[in-house]
Structure 1
């Protein structure tokens, strides 16, 4: 029986773009369009500009675009900054079963390598689909124990996906690709404890950088242990429970996990979207001033992530209480609604204090039930199982375009938004990605 990395290496190396279903190709475009838009929206954020300033003195030849910065760095440095930007606001895509954000740790590596080497857009899309599939399948195999132990799964599995995608883009053999993935298991890192801090940015930024390095080392003959993923002291067991290897190897090329990618209408953790949708719907029946208390029920992940005090923007983006307050007080949940002025808003703060979180194990991941107790004694309840943007209730292409334009305006690059959108939809026919990336610079 082949080991997991070997099976993945063969799958990636043997895959042909011509065999990719049209719907999957289109989903790759949607993923990259969405992520780049998220990156543009935070071009002026200190977390991004600081990362650029730190990396610039150590960068090699400036060949790769840094989103929204009118600057270029080498591939590793550019992908580091761009991954931070794409993931910063928790506005990027999500594979709900694992809570991996697939595009932010993978696409920046591929766009940077392709820009440096003049590679075509179809190759980027193909490599992204394969890298995303590797990340999500490994994520399935180690969930839920991996995340529960404190490993930030976007950063860890994202590094393996970036290595696989970079290996495909570089034309590595099946054996080399397996070693690239194995090398990435020794570099993957990032902890959930650090999510409310800038340390989260570092681990997400490292994922594409480590993926590129892993592929380049494998290309030059570096090797990894055969059972780097599932071995007794390998990635999966060191960072979780006994791995479900069938989740990695079963149905490769037939059942696509990356096809289950979802997109966010709100810049908050994916598990809070049902809370926001439910509160927005209930607001039509009960204005904020009529409400005595709010109870939000959800699964263990919702409570673990979101039953928290709100002290800063990061807290707000993963807060049950803030999400509910926005729904009733502001009837909106855009980028500005999760920034410090909103955190400090006394009306929102007072309403957050009226919100209580409750565990409801029967609810599936991503669902929420909101119950209102009104001042007149009545109760109102709304359950949302398929929030806007979920797999069962997806955002349309038009909605993703509108989100891209909004983010481009926030980042100060709205004049080039339409050109960039058209470029991403036509990415599979582009002879190179250089001009498209420069339109996002």
Structure 2
């Protein structure tokens, strides 16, 4: 006789619960602080999208899409082209992600706003959507994608899945479904349709393909909700099923992360905005090196060895000594240490092809060794520098600027938008755009912001 196989324990009906949450939550249910955080997320979103709008890889995708199916109602942030709404959503999310300057949900390292906001604004150009509707849907979409990330973290990333892309498609589907007024059954289908289109690989980090999967998240999420509106049915258990998203893409799904505090504890409260255009785990590293750069001219010092201590995720994501492109430098600890230490700068130009080609910086790459210390948070790091004389110089950052304990202020986010809009050379009307973002909950037409943001 065959031995009796242990059945997989029944999972809670989390898809149904999330669908009901999306359908029934109202703007007034959100705490005032979360309502304001939704606006802050959009200020940062437009800032980083305006920086990336002129990136050559974005131009390549736009040129191809123009040949395949040009024309449409969808504006492209920082540019004059018009596309259909699915392509517009994809391009705008890619622009927001291409420089790795987008926001970060600290518990999961998801970049939550781009996949959701890009879909919502593309939709808002095709039908009336009020500012309050869009902000509510943004908060709901971010909640869904981040809770899914919490249910899968850290196994999901360790398996090689790019969590912003894989979870972002669900956030976009939830948000668009909310604006469309889908009922719980249709929202269930939308999440099911999204489950069939959730993809993105960590292997693509440091390449343009990483942003391609981020662009697919709003495109596919929007398509999932629009199909559900037409009665296109998804599976009954797309999230919790035996072969559903959570079990296939993780080891031990934490269903409680999807259920506990739903509607009371909001993921936007754990969202952060970067002061530097690189992987968020590099923020404390850069801060430590910038502090050291103020002490002396390290380009004249005979450095023997540099040791970087941090959370294991720091090494897993950024130990990249053999980079050749600016895109790769965004996730390279070797480059982040070298450029911030030797130049005292860490802006967009610091992570460019030209910066990576600088032999002064490259000479420092092999001197870096990385050491894991699980007692460190992802927002902390320590840098030790040994000189050939034997002298040791160190600096530790417990919490980097832009983290949960030291968040960027509203004024700093405004300054970021102004700076990045200038960098992207879009000609965007920054002052009216900022005014519109801060007053979005009072606006009858959320789509008008895209007219202000277009080139």
Alpha-carbon deviation of 1:381? 2.1
Name the structure 1 match of 2:339.
326
* Equivalent residue number for residue 428 of structure 1: 441
Unaligned 5+ segments in structure 1 are none
Aligned counterpart in structure 1 of residue 42 of structure 2, from 8, 20, 32: 32
Question: Partner of 1:299 in structure 2?
Answer: 311
Contact 2:54 2:426 in 1 (8 A): no
Residue matched to 1:349: 362
| Contact 1:5–1:179 under 8 Å retained in 2 | no
Instruction: State the distance in 1 between where 2:276 and 2:153 align.
Output: 25
Q: 2:73 aligns with which of 58, 63, 68?
A: 63
Secondary structure of the 2:125 match is: helix
Partner of 2:95: 85
| Match in the other structure for 1:147 | 157
Equivalent residue number for residue 278 of structure 1: 288
Please give the TM-score of this superposition, normalised by the length of structure 2.
Answer: 0.94
Structural RMSD (CA): 1.5
Residue 65 of structure 1: CA displacement? 1.1
Query: Which residue in the other structure is 2:8 paired with?
Result: none
1:321·1:355 contact (CA, 8 Å) conserved in 2? Answer: yes
Cα distance in 1 for partners of 2:397, 2:427 equals 34
With 315-324 and 426-435 compared, the bigger mean Cα shift is at 426-435
Deviations along 1:180-210, whole A, 9 cap, x unmatched? 1121011110111112222212211100011
Q: Measure, in 1, the Cα distance between the counterparts of 2:58 and 2:149.
A: 27
Give 1:72's match in structure 2, choosing from 64, 69, 82: 82
How many equivalent residue pairs? 441
> Within 1, Cα distance between the matches of 2:317 and 2:109?
12
| Matched-pair contact (CA < 8 Å) for 2:174–2:187 | yes
Structure 1 residues 186 and 231: alpha-carbon distance in aligned structure 2, compared to 1, 3 A threshold? same
Work out whether 1:120 is the aligned partner of 2:130. Answer: yes
Checking the alignment, whether the CA contact within 8 Å between 2:428 and 2:452 is kept in structure 1 is no
Q: Answer with 112-121 or 355-364: which moved more.
A: 355-364
**Residue in 2 aligned with 1:158?**
168
- Of 374, 379, 382, the residue aligned with 1:366 is 379
Does residue 175 of structure 1 match 2:185? yes
Mapped partners of 2:414, 2:366: distance in 1: 36
TM-score by length of 1: 0.97
Identify if the C-alpha distance between structure 1 residues 431 and 57 changes in structure 2 by more than 3 Å, giving closer, same or farther: farther
Residues 107-151 of structure 1 show CA distances to partners (whole Å, capped at 9, x for unaligned) of 100011012112111111110000000000000001111111011
CA-CA distance at 1:2 after TM superposition: 5.3
Aligned-residue offset at 1:74: 1.6
Cα distance in 2 for residues equivalent to 1:182 and 1:386: 39
Describe the SS at the equivalent of 1:297. Answer: strand
Q: CA deviation at 1:33?
A: 1.2
SS in 1 for 2:119: helix
Shift of 1:419: 1.6
Q: Matched residue of 1:225: which SS?
A: coil
Separation in structure 2 between the aligned mates of residue 273 and residue 293 of structure 1, nearest angstrom: 21
Which range moved further: 350-359 or 417-426? Answer: 350-359
Superposed CA offset, 1:42-92 (max 9, x none): 222111111112223444762121011112212101001101100001000
Q: Match of 2:420?
A: 407
Question: Displacement, 1:287?
Answer: 3.0
